[in-house]
Amino acid sequence: MIRKIFAAIVLAFVAAPLHAETLRQPPASETQVTLSFAPVVKKAAPAVVNVYAQRVEQRAPRRNPLFDDPIFRRFFGDALRRGGASAQSLGSGVIVDASGLVVTNNHVIDDMNQVKVALSDRREFPADILLRDPRSDLAILRIKGPKGAVFPVLQMGDSDAIQVGDLALAIGDPFGVGQTVTQGIISALARTETGISDYGFFIQTDAAINPGNSGGALVDVDGRLIGINAAIMSQSGGSVGIGFAIPVNMVKAVLATAVAGGKEVHRPWLGATLQNINRDIADSLGLDRPSGALVADVDPRGPAAAGGLKQGDVITAVDGKDVYDSGSVGYRLGAKPIGGVASLSVLRGGKKEIVPLKLLAAPENPPREQLTIGGSSPFSGATVVNISPATAEEYSIQNAAAGVAVIAVQDESPAALLGLQKGDVVLSLNGEKMGATRDLQRVAAQNPYVWRIQINRGGQTITSVVGG
């Protein structure tokens, strides 16, 4: 309906002669006066919620002798007996199932253990966290409402069907002021160089998005969800017309895992290392443009090798949908469920080929054997796992077939002071190769005068010497 109204107004202005006398004429029809997105908002807004999250850590308070005074205890005892620390977060979410399933951004509830949602009609309910998926920056909640409660739902659209220039509305709770609607267009598609998440393939919009909009809805003019607002590009912290939303087709993949009772999203394993194509690489390959993803290496154990993908191939499409770089390939595969077969369109020696790819989960071989290093070594406070196809995929570790991967570093720990980062791979300590997490734990328990450390960071080997 809105499309027809908008088209009618454009047609009326194009068809009319542009002179002063015509511009002073009253509107000829109601459609020339009443262009409004109100019907779309009325349909979509009830399913957009505010998400309030907090982390509460209980700790025993120190005993205060004033508690022995019955008068003091009467007035202040209950408040002062409670010990703990808390942190809070504010964002938005979208109800996608009448039973109360809510999609939001993972960064809205990251490190939080208590969540509450507020509906547009001001009802408030606690919610359980069903699934966190940091790689896509999505999370799924379930509203703990009354038995048999039916919640308003926002119908999901198809993010592959939208086009640059389409009208779009952003609905959320910016700065905590209350539910707000902003309007704009789809400014760009398939934005991959954003650094927002591992699956960077974002919808860009100029609809105003501000802090607090995270997790809210980006809808089309038919009132269907096409994306989850996730981030803005801004130097001031406010909207400058460059916002990014996670495509709804990725949301569908994460939601399917939560509905099935899964706690972790398993995605298809390519089993190959990809490289973006620049102008020089395109010229050397005889390509007319720098587009697609170059296969730099193929794991002989993976589905890519089994399907016949070769080093030097250029992937140009997945299941007939064009890809422009390695991030595009990751998104196209990441949005697919485990099982079945995908078709990779590749250029090989100037000829087009189709490579079948079985959609299999990466194997966890060897087992991860997760450990947090203690003691007083430079590695104390680092959480590490064994390198396997599964852990390399999960933590986006590339070009590391051996070693021990760092997956977390405690703040202000010796490991943090050393400069260790999530994604680093410890290759050797004092000349001894690190084949497993227990090797690192054993060597870290020693107390040498000097630590000779070799790590792989982003494909580069770094060697350093630290005093014991």
Q: 445: which residues sit within 8 A by CB, 6+ positions away?
A: 375, 377
- Top mean-pLDDT range of 330-334, 374-378, 383-387: 383-387
Residue 423 has pLDDT above 50, yes or no: yes
User: For position 396, what pLDDT does the model report?
Assistant: 76
pLDDT in tens, 153-210: 999 999 989 999 999 999 998 877 888 899 999 998 877 665 555 666 789 998 888 8
Mean of pLDDT values over 367-371:
93
Q: Return contacts of 416-421, CB within 8 angstroms, 24+ apart.
A: 416/381, 417/378, 418/378, 418/379, 418/453, 418/466, 420/379, 420/382, 420/455, 421/457
User: For position 468, what pLDDT does the model report?
Assistant: 63
Q: What is the mean pLDDT of the chain?
A: 83
Q: Return contacts of 447-450, CB within 8 angstroms, 24+ apart.
A: 447/376, 447/377
C-alpha Rg value of the chain to the nearest Å: 27
User: For position 71, what pLDDT does the model report?
Assistant: 40
Residue 255 DSSP SS3: helix
**Rounded Cα distance, 183 and 433, in Å:** 56
Element (H, E) at 466: strand 460-467
- Would you give the end-to-end CA distance of the chain in angstroms? 72
Looking at the chain, the whole-number percentage of residues with pLDDT higher than 70 is 82
Mean of pLDDT values over 238-249:
84
Top-level class of domain 371-467: mainly beta
- Compute the Cα dihedral for 89, 90, 94, 99 and give only its sign: positive
In angstroms, how far is CA 298 from the centroid of its own chain?
26
CB 403 within 8 A of CB 427: yes
Mean of pLDDT values over 115-123:
91
Residues involved in catalysis: 107, 137, 214
- Between helix 326-334 and helix 248-259 the angle, nearest 10°, is 40
Residue 323 DSSP SS3: coil
- Which one of 3.40.640.10, 2.30.42.10, 3.40.930.10, 3.40.50.720 gives the CATH number of domain 272-358? 2.30.42.10
Residue 328 has pLDDT above 70, yes or no: yes
Element (H, E) at 294: strand 293-298
- DSSP of 350-389: TEEEEEEEE--BPP--S----EE--TTSTTTTEEEEE--H
Mean of pLDDT values over 289-309:
92
pLDDT in tens, 55-110: 766 554 444 444 454 443 433 444 444 445 556 778 899 999 999 999 999 999 88
- The count of other CB atoms within 10 Å of the CB of residue 96 is 25
- Position 405 confidence tier, pLDDT thresholds 50, 70, 90: very high
**Rounded Cα distance, 162 and 180, in Å:** 23
Spell out a b/e string for 149-169, using b for 16 or more CB atoms within 10 Å of the CB, else e. Answer: eebbbbebbebeebeeebbbb
In angstroms, how far is CA 193 from the centroid of its own chain?
13
User: Which fold does the domain 37-265 belong to in CATH?
Assistant: Thrombin, subunit H (2.40.10)
pLDDT in tens, 39-57: 899 999 999 999 998 876 6
Dihedral pair phi/psi, residue 312, rounded to 5°: 100, -15
Beta bridge partners of 355: 344
Beta strand 272-276 pairing with 293-298: antiparallel
Looking at the chain, the whole-number percentage of residues with pLDDT higher than 90 is 45
Ramachandran assignment for 369, one of left (phi > 0), alpha (psi -120 to 50 degrees), beta (any other): left
Residue 122 has pLDDT above 50, yes or no: yes
Residue 7 has pLDDT above 90, yes or no: no
Mean of pLDDT values over 268-289:
90
Residue 184 DSSP SS3: strand
Mean of pLDDT values over 269-294:
91
User: For position 47, what pLDDT does the model report?
Assistant: 94
CB 312 within 8 A of CB 286: no
Angle at 88 between CA 83 and CA 92, to 5 degrees: 150
Residue 326 has pLDDT above 70, yes or no: yes
Peptide bond into 366 cis (omega under 30): yes
User: For position 60, what pLDDT does the model report?
Assistant: 47
Mean of pLDDT values over 120-135:
92
Domain ranges of the chain: 2-35, 37-265, 272-358, 371-467
Residue 283 has pLDDT above 80, yes or no: yes
Residue 9 has pLDDT above 90, yes or no: no
Closest CA to 222 of 158, 173, 178, 151: 158
Structure-model confidence comparison of residues 24 and 449, the more confident one? 449
Structure-model confidence comparison of residues 120 and 399, the more confident one? 120
Residue 171 DSSP SS3: strand
- The count of other CB atoms within 10 Å of the CB of residue 411 is 6
Q: Do domains 37-265 and 272-358 have the same CATH topology?
A: no
**Residue that the structure tokens 């060897």 belong to:** 366
Mean of pLDDT values over 247-251:
93
CB 96 within 8 A of CB 76: no
Mean of pLDDT values over 439-447:
89
Residue 21 DSSP SS3: helix
